[in-house]
Structure 1
Amino acid sequence: MKFQLLVIPFVHLAFLPNLVSATVYTSHTQLTKRQYDIIIIGGGTAGSVLANRLTENSKVSVLVIEAGADTKDNLSVQVPFLGSTLPGTAVDWAFTSTAQSGLNGRTIPYARGLGLGGSSAINLLTYNRGSDDIWNSWASITGDSAWCWNNVKQYYLKSSSLVAPADGRDTTGQVDPSVHGSGPVEVSVPGFSLPIDTLVVQTSKQLGGRFKYNVDFNSGDFTGVGFMQSTVGGGERSDANTAYLQPVISRSNLDVLINTQVTKLVQSGTSKLGPIFNIVELGSTADKNNRSQVMALKETILSAGVIGTPQILQLSGIGPSASLKSLGITPLLDIADVGTGLVDHPMVANYFQVSSNGTWDDVLRDNSLLGSTLGQWQSSRQGLFVDSPANTQGYQRLPAGSSALAGIADPAAGSKSAHTELIFVDGFAPFGELTQPATGNYLTVLTAVVSPTSRGSVTLASTDPFAKPLINPAVLTTNFDILAMVQAMKDAQTFLAAAPWQQDFKPVAFGDLANAKTDADKATFARNNAVTVNHPAGTARMSSASSKSGVVDSQLRVKGAQFLRVVDASVFPTIPECHIQAAVYIVAERAADLIKTAYGL
């Protein structure tokens, strides 16, 4: 999701130099080797995990290819609160969707991480591992019990660890340490308490039911209201680059190539089991004369993300034959589902004016105040900036008898999975074209549909690998999605009408929301204002090995291809009913074990 601050120019001045380790190549012409055991395309969330785990064996040579630069010294990446300023900057692919019929023809920005760490370096840090139900449903879809929660739990515990919040306070009753692991990604509850935190918890406990208090979502039940857990340790962002890649960047069997795009995969031959794709073509510009190739002796792994992975597959002749032929690409492997099934969580910002002056609105309006707040973070890793802009969240199942569910199968994975989400923000969070009012104090409740039924696509706009593809998330194009969003908006108003809010805050719907009285009005408001939470998934979906649908099997191998695997959120067979970065870490950790087993590493 894109959160635009008025102070973006100031923040950019605060960037630190982007220092590159001596072990990192900045051009494909610098490579001294042209063969590696394993080539990982994409140095983002999944790619960083794979680079770490696969180079644990010193005899295995690994090349990571990343289109962007190193992100570790970017101040706005490091500061959790400033993650909201990163969309549209040099660390973002800055994609834009196609015109969305469900949004009255609007296009929306689509932020995706560009640089080492990928989207884990530019997201708003929420760490949700997904309900037990979502993993069990994946096991059912793929026909592989190894994906059920009891079996993937080890990878969740291996990927992250719970650390103390920045303020070091007693967090008893705000998190359950017993359900956390000992991995490299640091996770914590908020390290700077906001005035609304207590109100959210009090309201949850008072209302109960669908708004029950949940001590720790990562215990497996993603329903209720509770404190947000984020990838923050010591007041700083903990992302895939800093947690997984940088600690091993000096390994002699690991090369990292940045500022370089993969233009396509090249078929090197054919086996009895299908075409072999172990040659990777590279380039830094659209100039076809400035290309080179590297070869994977064991395996090529696509971790280019939900947008990049289907784009590279299609450019390589892997995808729907008719579509490829229409662009003049020779089909080498006909897989109809490449690029289909794009799904994301639609989101609407609901604004309320409040009587309290305790919100952080003035920090966004006053560069001097912002500067002192940033200075506090730089000197002591304390204060407002140690967290993302929200400390609390809630996940709700639709009320019994909801019209949204009439005539359809429940799209949520099970009773521990929600249909909608509420995120409570202690200020006016400007999304899209909206700007913060010059005066007043505000509260934002972000409402999202986390079990959407709308499905879109990623397709090629041209055969130019440097041209951005056509991204159609098909936001709010089903009856379920729009009715569920309306219910979420009504839930936000019900929650804020509870007694705890009436003493000091007294929230009153602001702007066009104030006039959205009926369900139809709310639906119109949603279509006029919705974006996504930037949780895309599903463009190279897993399915059972025998299924004619899907793109990869349960081992994440591209169906019909040899020596080619996909490891990123594009393989998700359904979208988790939560924020998805933790699920990517889990998938990547399991993929590393699958690869080690396959080659006896």
Structure 2
Amino acid sequence: MLARKTWALVSAGLIAPCLGRIFENVSELPGNLEYDFIVAGGGTAGLVVANRLTENPKFKVLVLEAGVSNVGVLDSEIPFLLGNLLGPTVYEWNYTTTPQSGLNGRVLDYARAHMLGGCSSHNGMFYTRGSADDFNRYAAITADSGWSWDQILPYFFKNERWSPPADFHNTKGQFDPSVHSTKGITSVSLPGFDWPIFYHKVLQTTKELPEEFPFNLDMNSGKPLGLGWRQSTIGDGMRSSSATSYLAPEFIQRDNLHILIHAQVSQLVDASNVAGKIVFGGVQFFQGISQFTAKATKEIILSAGTVGTPNILMHSGIGDPNALKPLGIPMVLNLPNVGKGIQDQPFFQVAWSVNFTQTLESITQNTTRFEKAFAEWNKSHTGPFVMFGPTHIAWLRLDPDSSIFENFTDPSAGLDTPHIELAIAPGIGLGPLPSPGNFLSIGLAAVTPVSRGSITINSSNPFDPPVIDLGMLQSDFDLFTLREALKSAQRFFKAPAWQDVIIGPTQNLENITTDALDAFIRETVTPTSHLVGSAAMSARDAENGVVDPDLLVKGARALRIIDASVLPIIPSAHTQAATYAVAERAADLIKQRWM
């Protein structure tokens, strides 16, 4: 509430005009609507591709973004104000899911950004790559070593610009410089504000409970297991998104790069069959009620996200004929896996009351301190507003002797891959407080879920929302993992380091039956919005999948998908970093084809 009040007071004076080649109306675009490449979606991946392609001055690129500009959106710029972006707002598609049978029929809000930069403009800014095992599994699935850890790591480096934290503290011993790059585009940094009591006790716990919570110098080395300092897409105390980094002033001024906002793609058009492959001549999009068609002479690139991309495909006649024919959508390309097999990571948060005041609540529940912190950020981009929520993350594996493995094969990609994420925070970052006071919290996630869902449509109108069924907690494996995650969180705050500050948990979840705990989890879990898999990549000769290892749509020519939808299995991480790496590699694949 305090954040929204402050935003209302200051936003009018801080909104800046659009920069460079960002256009709000089709009539403003120079020339006609014919381009070498059309990128449908100006999100995390789409802006990477647009930037890299326009490094070649001979390539003319149009990006069509349905949402608003990120420029001047203070809630996006200031990490601490993240919660203000989450729906229902103009920055959201404001989607909801179908009733989730694994969550007692609950209908969930599903966060998807409706702004330039996509989810990188309104996510939690976590920078976590996943394990080397994750990418080696992608290489095995696609029969393409280009997706292996060793070959994808240079693309993580190409994206990342390691930056000093906002407070310029000495970061020795908090990360491993050898697994980072200072020459990329998107800023990545360590926490830039000091919570001294909390930091000391977190690190002390790694010494007191080293078997369960060993200190990991750098979770982005490909071996994330253990507890380490969180890394975030933040630079100079501000969010670093694909919009702020890949559309920075030195890039957005390119004459061959045009960004059109408020432009919602409805379908691909002008399909023809060329040598047994489907070729689309253009992209149909709308601004308001006005319809337009943009022509691509080289390639159409779908980067509309794991929800938006299959929605466009299906309305273009690409998908499962059993789903499209009843809606009267003419079949163009039979790809029954479109929208199938999606995955997201189930999450819930638990909290403990504490007897010290150096927590997030000292700011969020105190108008004077909140306004002081805002003023400090506004003046120097320092202070508590330079970060959001968790400052440390523990990545854990289930006990290999767990009973669950009697009935389930391990879904993780390998022995260096976690099943559990514990995001440890000096306060409650999102959600209502259980009572006045000060708290510590842990966000629990099952990062290798077995449950899968689908994206479908129930209308031939491309402006009707897609049907999102996450299939969340349909598998007992995921429920078991969350129970074990909670037990780990409870053990963490029982370490000797915490005993002089912990008052107690805000909910009594220790002395209850397994059935009661399962009921609590099913009533509490929400998705992390780390959705993948709706246009999964597979080997070239595989009958399943939607795209080949070069991210070309199977059965089509000059049509690629470049976003998180192509990941066939969710990485054991937040998906932002992987999406950047996918986009960087995909841009090189396109250049190799056309240069």
- TM-score, normalising length: structure 1: 0.95
Q: How does 1:51-130 map to 2 (within 5 A)?
A: 51-88=50-87, 89-130=89-130
1:222 matched to 2:227? The reply is no
AA aligned to 2:383 is G
Q: Which of 253, 256, 266 is equivalent to 2:256? A: 253
* 1:368 Cα deviation from its structure 2 partner: 3.1
SS of 1:38's equivalent in the other structure is strand
1:509 matched to 2:505? The reply is yes
* Contact 1:14–1:75 (CA under 8 A) maintained in structure 2: no
| Residues 227-251 of structure 1, C-alpha deviations (whole Å, 9 max, x = no match) | 1000111111111011112331111
Other-structure match for 1:413 = 413
- Which 5+ residue runs of structure 2 have no aligned equivalent? none
* Aligned sequence identity (%): 40
| Residues 298-328 of structure 1, C-alpha deviations (whole Å, 9 max, x = no match) | 0000000011000000010001011001111
AA aligned to 1:545 is R
Other-structure match for 1:491 = 488
| Residues 559-579 of structure 1, C-alpha deviations (whole Å, 9 max, x = no match) | 001110000000001100011
1:547 matched to 2:542? The reply is yes
Other-structure match for 1:363 = 363
* 1:404 Cα deviation from its structure 2 partner: 2.6
* 1:21 Cα deviation from its structure 2 partner: 2.4
CA distance in 1, matches of 2:570, 2:40: 23
| Residues 40-82 of structure 1, C-alpha deviations (whole Å, 9 max, x = no match) | 0111111110111000110111001101121032111111111
Other-structure match for 1:338 = 338
Distance 1:238 1:516, change over 3 A: farther
AA aligned to 2:81 is L
SS of 1:211's equivalent in the other structure is coil
Segment drifting more, 103-112 vs 360-369: 360-369
* Contact 1:339–1:540 (CA under 8 A) maintained in structure 2: yes
CA distance in 1, matches of 2:434, 2:396: 30
* 1:127 Cα deviation from its structure 2 partner: 0.4
Other-structure match for 2:463 = 466
| Residues 524-574 of structure 1, C-alpha deviations (whole Å, 9 max, x = no match) | 111111101111111000000111111000000000011100000000011
1:240 matched to 2:242? The reply is yes
* Contact 1:18–1:71 (CA under 8 A) maintained in structure 2: no
AA aligned to 1:184 is I
* 1:453 Cα deviation from its structure 2 partner: 0.6
* Contact 1:100–1:107 (CA under 8 A) maintained in structure 2: yes
- Residues matched between the structures, number: 588
SS of 2:247's equivalent in the other structure is helix
Other-structure match for 1:456 = 453
| Residues 260-287 of structure 1, C-alpha deviations (whole Å, 9 max, x = no match) | 10010013321113111231001023x4
CA distance in 2, matches of 1:537, 1:200: 32
* 1:22 Cα deviation from its structure 2 partner: 4.8
AA aligned to 1:228 is R
Q: Which of 578, 585, 592 is equivalent to 2:580? A: 585
* 1:18 Cα deviation from its structure 2 partner: 5.0
CA distance in 2, matches of 1:342, 1:9: 38
SS of 2:502's equivalent in the other structure is coil
Q: Which of 440, 443, 467 is equivalent to 1:443? A: 440
Q: Which of 18, 21, 30 is equivalent to 2:19? A: 21
SS of 1:126's equivalent in the other structure is coil
Other-structure match for 1:519 = 514
CA distance in 1, matches of 2:275, 2:62: 27
Other-structure match for 1:213 = 215
| Residues 196-232 of structure 1, C-alpha deviations (whole Å, 9 max, x = no match) | 2221111122211231110101111111111100011
SS of 2:52's equivalent in the other structure is helix
1:267 matched to 2:235? The reply is no
* Contact 1:262–1:282 (CA under 8 A) maintained in structure 2: yes
* 1:8 Cα deviation from its structure 2 partner: 2.7
AA aligned to 2:190 is V
CA distance in 1, matches of 2:203, 2:578: 26
CA distance in 2, matches of 1:236, 1:21: 18
CA distance in 2, matches of 1:42, 1:328: 26
AA aligned to 1:483 is F
- Which 5+ residue runs of structure 1 have no aligned equivalent? none
* 1:253 Cα deviation from its structure 2 partner: 0.8
CA distance in 1, matches of 2:382, 2:258: 36
| Residues 97-147 of structure 1, C-alpha deviations (whole Å, 9 max, x = no match) | 111111111111111121111100101101012211111000000011111
